[in-house]
Amino acid sequence: MSNTRHPQTRDQVLVAHAAQMIARTSLSQDTFAQALSEQLHRLVPEKAAEKDVPDFKAMAAGNDTAAFLKACDRWLKRVARWLSGEVELPAWVEEAWVQALPGDYREACVNELASRYGLIGARALGAEACPVSAFGGLVRQLGLAVETCSEVLADGRIDADDLALLPALIRQLLAVESRACELRRLAENTLAAERRKTPLRLAD
């Protein structure tokens, strides 16, 4: 994942994570398409309007049912073409695409994209950042990584016999790095804030 040779392009990585989410959860392709539309209008409203991305919330408030259904049908087909690879995913959609993914799928996608540049996909810290939540996420991801590592390292090696398990192991280790980095940054920010409060002592 993190070496300089990547078998997939960025847009293929994004599509793969969305397709995996649709296949493994109760969320449908239609639900994802609506979430993507909402994120596009939130993040790049002018571009979304320019590219005829339907604003379903605004349209639902109106009374033109026929126009709503027509716009919905066009958008669902457009997203389906991106998901199938028939049409390449444009760059202006990428950030909204990631944000439209739910929870763990969004985190896994961010981690994989970051790892392609040797980075850690730690989440941005906001005012709502919770150390207990970050620690809980770290413990959960660490537990998954330990379980897979134990299976991979049962013979004391990582080799061709482990190929089926390695993608999951890489994803889990990236998630551990991300959560650990988030918790570390919370600690660093708190320490820095407390140090700023401490008055300087002048030498006698």
* DSSP code of residue 124: P
C-alpha span between 92 and 106 (Å, rounded): 17
Give per-residue pLDDT as tens, 144-173: 888 888 999 999 999 999 999 988 888 888
What average pLDDT does range 72-83 have in this prediction?
93
Q: Give the mean model confidence (pLDDT) for residues 80-108.
A: 91
Q: Which two tokens stand for residue 64?
A: 């033109």
| pLDDT tops 80 at residue 86 | yes
Rounded to the nearest 5 degrees, what angle is found at the Cα of 189, between the Cα atoms of 101 and 198? 165
Domain segments of the chain: what residues? Answer: 1-119, 124-204
pLDDT, one tens digit per residue, over 41-76 is 999 999 999 999 999 888 877 777 888 888 889 999
3-state DSSP helix/strand/coil percent for the chain, to nearest 5? 70, 0, 30
The angle at the Cα of 178, spanning 172 to 180, to the nearest 5 degrees, equals 100
Task: Look at residue 127 in the predicted model and tell me its pLDDT.
Answer: 44
CB burial readout 30-60, b (16+ within 10 A) else e: eebbbbbbbbbbeebeeebeeeebbbbeebe
Residue 105: how many other CB atoms lie within 10 Å: 20
CA–CA gap between residue 166 and residue 171 (Å, rounded): 9
Q: Which range is least confidently modeled, 22-31, 49-58, 83-92, 176-185?
A: 176-185
pLDDT band, residue 9 (cuts 50/70/90): confident
